Structure 1
Amino acid sequence: MMEQFDLLEMMRQDREAVEGVASLYGLECTTTSDYRAAFDHWQAEHGHFGSIPLSHAWHQMSGRNGDCDLATGDGCEVTILCADTRCNDPEHDYARRCQCVGDLTYRAVCDTCHWSSTPDREHEATLAALDHCFENWRDSPVVSPAPSNMDDRAMRRWSAEVVAAYGARPLGWPVITARTGPGTRAVAGRSPWRGYDVAVGAL
């Protein structure tokens, strides 16, 4: 019978191996490639297993805004980064709600002009990125939410209605929809211009 790995023990050993190593959370870089290089260097020294929560490194979210264009005609290009500062101690009692301070933290970074937002929650970082890239986007009209079933024909009809209400917009322009809770998270890539869908109640 194949020996099973004790994941808790592996995590404990990894935590002990990096004890005293400086966190990458406070690292201030000017480009996303610099953040990536710092994380790569950390992983080369300390390993890949559990490296995101152990290093608290800023890294690009996979699958969240990869299909969303946050570039402007002026050349600015913004990426949303995330750092995991949550408790990663497997010996803590999660059933009793571990009291370690920390959460998933986000920031927006512009590779062109080296602007960056203050670390905050995902929604605030997304709004800061949109403010940086698209002047006066908050003045856009509020339109009906996208079809919940995401049917191709219904989505094309909805996109045509949005374009008719908004007029010509550059690639990446967001759309403001009349969504209400609980589903008010900004959705990447949903606007007709491959921009974010932002709920009006979350502005």
Structure 2
Amino acid sequence: MSFFHGAIMRDENVTVSSLGADIRSLRKARRITLVELAATLGRSVGWLSQVERDLSYPDGADLARIAKALDVSISSFLKVAIPPEEEGHIVRAHARRPIGSRTEGLTEALLSPDLTDDFEVIHSAFAPHSFLPEPVSRPTQEVCYIIKGKFEIALDGQHFALEAGDSFRLRGQKFQWWNKHDTTCEIVWVISPPIY
């Protein structure tokens, strides 16, 4: 499948309208410079700058390399079927942008219309008996609200058992999670800066 009609003409039916801004936001959230990302991609700084300003558009192979370099799923950049007047404003339950899954048993989708704000809102579903094998940290501030199920999290080694209606905050510390139960746990995350 071809992602684009040509080197400089984006296929509006495939990529999100905020593609350039989303790439720039993700790059900045990871503290990667234009020069560093361009070098990783084997492209010029000028080309990448034009992509971020929607003056040039990556082909399918470049988009895949950008997604890999920014550690996101390529699906994060692909459009879902929504009416044009809703794009950038409304996110329907059936039309969330899938983020992909880095951990078995975890599926995530973007609740924000795009990544152009100072934060993003994510919906996560943790399958029964899923867990994060190793603690991780990320340079973000996050507030998370459990909307369904039970969840356990360790924050810098301190363990907490949570359930629907509870919330927690992350500020760059190491965390690890578990859903040790027989039902799916669903959580809404507000994350600043956007990382997906």
User: TM-score by structure 2 length?
Assistant: 0.27
Highest Rg: 1 or 2? 1
Task: Give the number of the structure whose residues are more often strand, by fraction.
Answer: 2
User: TM-score by structure 1 length?
Assistant: 0.26
Task: Give the number of the structure whose residues are more often helix, by fraction.
Answer: 1
